[in-house]
Amino acid sequence: MEFLKGVHVFETYATTALLVDDRLILVDTGVEDDTRKLLDGLAKARVNPRDLSTIFITHTHPDHVGGLATIKADSPAKVAAHRVEADFISRKRTYDGPPRVQRHPGTPVDVLLEDGQVHDGLRVIYTPGHTRGSMALLDETRSLLFVGDGANNEGRLGPMDDRYNVDPKQHRESIRKLAVFHFEHAIFGHGTPITGGASARFVELAKRL
Parallel, antiparallel, or unpaired for β 24-27 and 16-20? antiparallel
The least distance separating Zn ion from the CB of residue 160, rounded to whole angstroms, comes to: 7
How many helices and strands (H and E) does the chain possess? 6, 12
Q: In the stretch 7-26, what mask flags binding to Zn ion with x, by CB under 5 A?
A: -------x------------
Q: Which of 67, 121, 189, 191 binds Zn ion (CB under 5 A)?
A: 189
Q: Is 63 in the site for Zn ion (CB under 5 A)?
A: yes
Q: Is 61 in the site for Zn ion (CB under 5 A)?
A: yes
DSSP 128-178: TTSSTT-EEEEETTTTEEEEETSSBBSSS-BPPPGGG-S-HHHHHHHHHHH
Residue number, 15 or 199, with CB nearest to Zn ion = 15
Question: Which of these segments, 19-27, 55-63, 98-106, 192-200, binds Zn ion (CB under 5 A)?
Answer: 55-63
Q: In the stretch 66-85, what mask flags binding to Zn ion with x, by CB under 5 A?
A: --------------------
What lies within 8 Å, CB to CB, of 159 at 6+ separation is 151, 152, 165, 168, 171, 172, 175, 209
Which residues in this chain contact Zn ion in the complex, by CB under 5 A? 14, 61, 63, 149, 189
